[in-house]
């Protein structure tokens, strides 16, 4: 499996216009890469999976807070609260 920064480098992309993730628990690792590498992204649409036994809700809260810490703002939360849409405010 290739990381998001690796794929971007291979394709010569400096930013992502829109990123939509529904990757069954893998979203937490991608969020960490976005935060660590400061990947510029337009809207970020994430389906989090805190309902799995191995993924506590606190991990989702932490992931969203980490994104907020680098300038993302939540602009939509689905009725079941697992799909969260964010946009970089900078």
CATH number at residue 36: 3.30.110
1 within a domain of the structure (yes/no): no
- pLDDT at res. 22: 87
Cα–Cα distance for residue pair 69/83, rounded to 1 Å = 19
At 4 the pLDDT is: 87
**Is residue 78 in some structural domain?**
yes
Give the model confidence (pLDDT) of 27-72 as tens digits.
999 999 999 998 999 999 999 887 777 888 889 999 999 999 999 9
| 12: region left, alpha or beta (phi > 0 left; psi from -120 to 50 alpha) | left
Q: How far is CA 7 from CA 27, 33, 86, in A?
A: 16, 12, 22
Which domain range does residue 63 map to?
15-88
Residue 8 lies in a domain: no
* Whether the Cβ atoms of residue 33 and residue 4 lie closer than 8 Å to each other: yes
> Do 76 and 44 contact (CB within 8 A), yes or no?
no
Q: Considering only CA atoms, give the Rg of the chain.
A: 13
């Amino acid at each position: 499996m290739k990381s998001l920064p690796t794929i971007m480098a291979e394709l010569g992309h400096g930013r992502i216009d829109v990123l939509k993730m529904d990757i069954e628990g893998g979203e937490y690792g991608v969020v960490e890469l976005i935060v660590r590498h400061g990947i510029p992204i337009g809207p970020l649409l994430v389906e989090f999976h805190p309902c799995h036994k191995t993924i506590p809700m606190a991990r989702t809260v932490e992931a969203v807070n980490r994104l907020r810490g680098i300038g993302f703002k939540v602009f939509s939360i689905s009725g079941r609260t697992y799909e969260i849409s964010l946009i970089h405010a900078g």
